[in-house]
Amino acid sequence: MSKRYADAFFFTGYYGLIALAILFALIPIVIAVVLSFDNRTFIGPFPPTDWSFRWYEEFLTSDYYHQGLKTSLIVSSTATLFSTVIGALTAIAIDRGRFWGRGVLQSLFISPLVIPTVVIGFGVLMFASRLGIVDGLPRLIMGHIIITFPYVVRTTLAALIGLRPSYFEAALSLGATPYQALWHITIPLARTGIIAGAIFAFVMSFDEVAVSLFLSDPFTYTLPVALLAQMRANLNLTIAAVSVIFIIVTIVLIWALDRIAGLDKIVGQGVYGRIR
Amino acid sequence: MAFARTSAGSRSGTRASRVNGVLLLPALVLFLPLLIGPLAVLLDESLKPYEAGRIGGTEGAELTFENYTELADPAYVHYFLDTFRIGLIVTLAAILLGYPIAHFIVRKASPWLAKLLIASLIGMLFLSLIVRIYAISMAYGPLGPFNDVSWLFGIDPRSPAKTELMVIFGLLHTVLPLVAITLISTIQNINPRLEDAALSLGAPRWKAFTSITLIMSLPGILSAGIIGYAFCISNLVVPLILGKGFVLFVSNLIYFRFSEISNFPSGAAISILMMLISLTIFYGLMRLVRDKNGEARE
Amino acid sequence: MTTVLDLQSIEKSFGAVRAVDGVSFDVARGEIVALLGPSGCGKTTTLRLIAGFEQPDGGRIVMNGVDVALREPYERNVGLVFQDYALFPHMTVAQNIAFGMKHRGTPRAEIPKKTAEVLERVHLSGVEKRWPSQLSGGQQQRVALARALVTEPDLMLLDEPLSNLDAKLRHHLRIELREILSKTGSTTIIVTHDQEEAMGLADRIVLMNAGRIEQIDTPERLYAEPKTRFSADFIGQSNWFEGTVRGDGADGTAQVDTPAGPVSIPLVNGFAAGDRIAVCVRPERITLTGPDLESTAPGQTRVAGTVDAVEMLGSDIRVWLKTANGAQIQSSTKYLGGPRPKVGTKAAACFNAADCILLEAEGKRE
């Protein structure tokens, strides 16, 4: 019987930790959602006494945020497009190839996940200025390509790992050229990995702050940089409203990711996975 | 390019390896310079002497290691110590909270609950860092309804230690899903029959869990920890906002060099140092984990 | 003989699926019982219920006179050998074997001696320091067996013990397994889908289908006297003739009118004229003769047809005969040399009334 008591004790702790983790994760989000409907113009005691949509209106009518959102969308979609096309091709080459330096090359392509974002931001800033690029937009796109590229390479590689080379070889034996086989066989088979990579890339780029902080200029700034500046200036509930919008968009993205690639699959491979 | 041309042992012969070369071309020509360029410029800049009032290092001056040697100054030590210490606390907390969730999802949850939890974890990971920081300061900050939570950790909410707790919360909110998701695949790779076997051999459930599943996931726990740690120590925005100047990471130091005093050579030197530390921790420890793991299996 | 395990009307459902539906059987001390059935028949769930990994929705699981249905696995003295062996990969062979002894309270000082003893018993001495991954499949299976045996459990449960091994090794290990189990006098339940494995290892077979027990019998009787059509079909091959019983023959035999023609049967099992019955004849009880042999001995049945297919199996030869009404009859005889029958030649299948197994006719089941 003492074994049973020990088990009961142990699993109380086990479920206690799970409950603690869920509470810790959820409380801030619930608070932010509630506060976004607060009618008060100062941050008063919780919960709010008066409700309104004023912070949503403020966000939707502010030129400052609009400018940031526009820049964010341009930067993130350009960087995602670039990373998805080139990253997918790179992953296919790495998966198929058995060439010297393959491991090194792969580590190199994945390395931006590990290099501190501050370093990437600072580095791109100086690199761009030496190339004579002083405009915010191209700098931001450069920085965001670096940080999004590894996600596409990773997810595409993960999708390709399970594929037998015989598919490609069968296509060749049926008379297809390597390029036809690639276009009609390999890329469609890796499709879910590529799309999942694109979604990851877009999300990571859209949320990115540290790199953008270095590369923005007074006229070109991303939405997170704009929010960060507001947050440092004064605690303003507009950000709570933006948070709710972000949370909704996140939920939609998760749903899309599940429909396209299947969440279990993504998690099964690990988001960062093991370095091969 | 040299890589592609030497591809002798390719699966489908030389024609296919030529295709590989073409596939790699865009990355080698467009991406690689974009990655290597900034790092090379940083390295170059870090070796230039700093001249006050000038943006960027002095051109044409003799190369110097001054920017590195000055980092040995005790004044800088606490940046590094804070970074590594807080990173460690957050990583350990993330493992402690993340492992039970991952285990629950893999072994105990019904399919729909598992899916819901996985979706929540990915959602938590996808959530904008700004939203996260803001929400945490609203909930646990001085004006938040959960300000007094810090008493649970023996910390007076008005003391500077509270800011450190806020930084820990901020980092933990991102690292927790990261660690939990990584652990899910680790636990998925452990045969559930092993725990059954331990039970049938007389071990109580907690013992079967600790002596089989937990021990076998140690390499996975370690790599999840390394991923989480690498994230923590390179973070800028969490200490910038939640640290309020009391808690400063090395990243903050780099940012100040850029934004406040425009000492680019010194910022570059710290960047190079920080990058080396991150890469060493990540690839070095990862390799160690893998080798140790391989040994036990063979 | 004392009863070690007594299952009384065990029930277990998963959602809407009744995995185990009123299963009752008992196992005597020292007996080897096989739980046999196709995949999804509930045999693995029954095993997991006995081991304690699942709890029954209804019924009693009595071990040595005590109902253990609600006990945790570690509170039952049951040894388990898993289908994939489930050897702990991070422990050596010795550590694997010591695991159970530690938790079942064997004095620490005795562990090395007992480990060596049990390894010798499974013919695997000297592998104590190896890792499971360094052993072959057959060796891993024996370590799993040793790990379960060493704590001297009241009951051993073996889940598809030989299914992960290749065919040659499987036969060899089956004989060895039988020897080890009977030498240690272990009371054992073997779960398997392989009738040969069940027949070769068990004293008694519990045949399961769709969560229920079809028949409990010795291997011989299960083959010779199947009680249901499922039993007859699952164990060995069968030819079926369905029809209505007609009259009572002068020599104590009766006849059944079937689409293939009249079939002589012994009137046992209490069937009467007018009953619809199914007659099962094993292929090895059917001999092939030339087509024009007219006279049949009393109690013998002859069905004429053409040779449809011939399969040469080395020691045996199997011939399919197609009858006039389109049915197929399978015959299996020892191959005694000479050319094989040609496809398309006329022939007749002969069998004796004594070789007929009589069952109640069921709804058409194929």
Q: B111: which chain C residues are within 8 Å (Cβ-Cβ)? A: none
Give the minimum alpha-carbon distance from B88 to chain C in angstroms, rounded to a whole number: 27
Whether residues B88 and B23 fall in one domain: no
The rounded percent of chain A whose pLDDT value lies above 90 is: 26
Q: How far apart are CA C154 and CA C321, in angstroms?
A: 51
Q: Which of B20, B139, B286 sits opposite A31 (nearest CB)?
A: B139
Instruction: Establish if B297 touches chain C: CB-CB under 8 angstroms.
Output: yes
Token pair in block for residue C87: 């050897």
Whether residues B113 and B257 fall in one domain: yes
Whether residues B106 and B199 fall in one domain: yes
Half-sphere exposure of A237 (CA within 13 A, CB side): 23
Q: How far apart are CA B132 and CA B138, in angstroms?
A: 10
When divided into structural domains, chain B yields a total of: 2
Residue A15 in any domain: the answer is no
Residue B52 in any domain: the answer is no
Q: Which chains touch A (3 or more CB pairs under 8 A)?
A: B, C
User: If you average pLDDT over every residue of chain B, what do you get?
Assistant: 83
DSSP H or E segment with residue C21: strand C17-28
Split at pLDDT 50, 70, 90, the class of B8 is: very low
Q: C143: which chain B residues are within 8 Å (Cβ-Cβ)? A: none
Whether residues B70 and B134 fall in one domain: yes
Q: What are phi and psi of A262, to 5 degrees?
A: 85, 120
Q: Which of residues 72-101 of C touch A (CB under 8 A)?
A: 72, 74-75
- Would you tell me how many other CB atoms lie within 10 Å of the CB of residue C2? 9
Q: What is the ipTM of this complex?
A: 0.84
Q: Which of residues 147-206 of B touch A (CB under 8 A)?
A: 169, 172-173, 176-178, 180-182, 184-185, 188, 204-206
Whether residues B209 and B80 fall in one domain: yes
Q: Among B184-193, B269-278, C145-154, C286-295, which is the least confidently predicted range? A: C286-295
Whether residues B124 and B271 fall in one domain: yes
**Which of B6, B19, B149, B199 would best serve as a mutation to test chain A binding (most A beta carbons within 10 A)?**
B19
Residue of B nearest to C81 (CA): B197
Residue B56 in any domain: the answer is no
- How do C78-81 and C155-159 pair as beta strands? parallel
Residue A53 in any domain: the answer is no
Residue of A nearest to B263 (CA): A122
Instruction: Establish if B108 touches chain A: CB-CB under 8 angstroms.
Output: no
Interchain CB distance below 8 Å, B27 and A209: no
Q: How far apart are CA A182 and CA A96, in angstroms?
A: 11
Whether residues B5 and B115 fall in one domain: no
Q: C72: which chain A residues are within 8 Å (Cβ-Cβ)? A: 3-4, 7
Q: Which chains touch B (3 or more CB pairs under 8 A)?
A: A, C
Q: Which of residues 60-99 of B touch A (CB under 8 A)?
A: 96-98
Q: How far apart are CA C125 and CA C117, in angstroms?
A: 8
Q: What is the mean pLDDT of residues A232-246?
A: 80
- Would you tell me how many other CB atoms lie within 10 Å of the CB of residue B163? 19
Split at pLDDT 50, 70, 90, the class of B6 is: very low
Token pair 């040595």 is found at: C64
Note whether A253 and A266 are within 8 A (CB). no
The more confidently predicted of residues A1 and C54 is C54
A74 has pLDDT over 90 = yes
B58 has pLDDT over 70 = no
User: If you average pLDDT over every residue of chain A, what do you get?
Assistant: 84
Token pair in block for residue A271: 């988001």
Token pair in block for residue B243: 């640290």
* C-alpha separations of A110 from B32, B275, C136 in Å: 11, 14, 38
> Would you state the pLDDT for residue C366?
35
Q: Among A102-106, A178-182, B285-289, C71-75, which is the least confidently predicted range? A: B285-289
Contacts by B246-252, CB closer than 8 A, 24 or more apart:
B246/B160, B246/B163, B246/B164, B247/B82, B247/B86, B247/B163, B247/B164, B247/B167, B248/B78, B248/B79, B248/B82, B249/B79, B249/B82, B249/B83, B249/B86, B250/B79, B250/B80, B250/B83, B250/B274, B251/A116, B251/A118, B251/A210, B251/B83, B252/B79
Annotate chain A with three-state secondary structure: CHHHHHHHHHHHHHHHHHHHHHHHHHHHHHHHHHHCCECCCCCCCCCCCCECCHHHHHHHHCHHHHHHHHHHHHHHHHHHHHHHHHHHHHHHHHHHCCCCCHHHHHHHHHHHHCCCHHHHHHHHHHHHHHCCCCCHHHHHHHHHHHHHHHHHHHHHHHHHHCCCCHHHHHHHHCCCCHHHHHHHHHHHHCHHHHHHHHHHHHHHHHHCCHHHHHHCCCCCCCHHHHHHHHHHHCCCCHHHHHHHHHHHHHHHHHHHHHHHCCHHHHHHHCCCCCCC
When divided into structural domains, chain A yields a total of: 1
Write out the residue range of the structural domain in which residue B36 sits: 1-46
CATH code of residue B272: 1.10.3720.10
Q: How far apart are CA A275 and CA B227, in angstroms?
A: 11
Residue A188 in any domain: the answer is yes
B157 has pLDDT over 50 = yes
Give the minimum alpha-carbon distance from A1 to chain C in angstroms, rounded to a whole number: 8
CATH code of residue A202: 1.10.3720.10
Q: How far apart are CA C356 and CA C223, in angstroms?
A: 12
Split at pLDDT 50, 70, 90, the class of A273 is: very low
> What is the identity of the amino acid at A115?
I
Instruction: Establish if B108 touches chain C: CB-CB under 8 angstroms.
Output: no
Residue A2 in any domain: the answer is no
The more confidently predicted of residues B185 and A45 is B185
Split at pLDDT 50, 70, 90, the class of B169 is: very high
Instruction: Establish if A133 touches chain B: CB-CB under 8 angstroms.
Output: no
Q: How far apart are CA C131 and CA B298, in angstroms?
A: 8
> Would you state the pLDDT for residue C248?
62
Q: Among A38-52, B10-24, C309-323, which is the least confidently predicted range? A: B10-24
The more confidently predicted of residues A122 and B111 is A122
Q: What is the mean pLDDT of residues A68-76?
A: 92
Provide the 8-state DSSP code for B266.
Answer: H
Residue B232 in any domain: the answer is yes
DSSP H or E segment with residue B15: helix B13-26
Low-confidence ranges of chain C (pLDDT < 50): 364-366
Tens-digit pLDDT profile for residues A171-222: 888 878 888 888 888 888 888 889 888 988 998 899 889 899 989 888 889 9
Split at pLDDT 50, 70, 90, the class of A271 is: very low
Residue A3 in any domain: the answer is no
A223 has pLDDT over 50 = yes
Q: How far apart are CA A219 and CA A136, in angstroms?
A: 8
Whether residues B80 and B14 fall in one domain: no
Residue A195 in any domain: the answer is yes
Residue A265 in any domain: the answer is yes
Whether residues B18 and B108 fall in one domain: no
Q: Which chains touch C (3 or more CB pairs under 8 A)?
A: A, B
Give the minimum alpha-carbon distance from C72 to chain A in angstroms, rounded to a whole number: 8
Q: What is the mean pLDDT of residues B136-161?
A: 83
B2 has pLDDT over 50 = no
Whether residues B186 and B278 fall in one domain: yes
Instruction: Establish if C70 touches chain A: CB-CB under 8 angstroms.
Output: no
Q: Which of residues 49-88 of A touch B (CB under 8 A)?
A: 82, 85-87
Tens-digit pLDDT profile for residues A256-269: 888 887 777 767 64
> Would you state the pLDDT for residue B146?
84
Residue B59 in any domain: the answer is no
> Would you state the pLDDT for residue A270?
41
A274 has pLDDT over 60 = no
Tens-digit pLDDT profile for residues A173-184: 887 888 888 888
Q: How far apart are CA A231 and CA A210, in angstroms?
A: 15
B11 has pLDDT over 50 = no
Give the minimum alpha-carbon distance from C113 to chain B in angstroms, rounded to a whole number: 18
Q: What is the mean pLDDT of residues B240-265?
A: 84
Split at pLDDT 50, 70, 90, the class of A76 is: very high
> Would you state the pLDDT for residue A235?
64
Residue A205 in any domain: the answer is yes
Residue B250 in any domain: the answer is yes
Give the minimum alpha-carbon distance from B217 to chain A in angstroms, rounded to a whole number: 14
Q: What is the mean pLDDT of residues B92-121?
A: 91
